[in-house]
Each structure stands twice: as structure tokens, then as C-alpha cells.
Amino acid sequence: MGKGSSGEDLFLFALGGLIGAAMAQPKEAEKTSLHILRITKKNSIIIFRLKIIFMNS
């Protein structure tokens, strides 16, 4: 910031920092949905393998 920075410039700088920090933090719902996606993908792989085993026996 230069010597002639106004209060508005400082406010906008601080606001930009807050917005950036908020965007960088994953929300609880996003964490939960990613966890569910991982579990679902893992379970679908297990089910697929079980189907192959039973089809080959």
C-alpha cells in the first residue's frame, strides 16, 4: 500500500483477505459429501468384486 492509501483501500484490502480465507476453508457439508463419495466409491468397488467372484463360481 502506498503512502496515499485511503481508508476505503484498507477496507477493500481487508475484505479481499477475508473472502479469500473463507473460500480456502472447506465447509462442513463439503467435507461430509466428499467423505460419503469416498465411502460410496469404495463400497461400489467391493460390490463389483463380489459380483465377479460369484459369477465365476
pLDDT in tens, 17-48: 877 776 666 666 666 666 666 777 777 777 77
Would residue 50 count as lying in a domain?
yes
Higher-scoring residue by pLDDT: 4, 49: 49
pLDDT score of 28: 67
| Alpha carbons 23 and 41: distance in angstroms, whole number | 26
Would residue 33 count as lying in a domain?
yes
Domain count, the chain: 1
Q: Which domain holds residue 43?
A: 27-57
The pTM of the full predicted model, rounded to 2 decimals, is 0.35
Would residue 2 count as lying in a domain?
no
Other Cβ atoms closer than 10 A to 2 = 5
Would residue 37 count as lying in a domain?
yes
- Residue reference for cell 468384486: 49
- Grid coordinates belonging to 30: 463439503
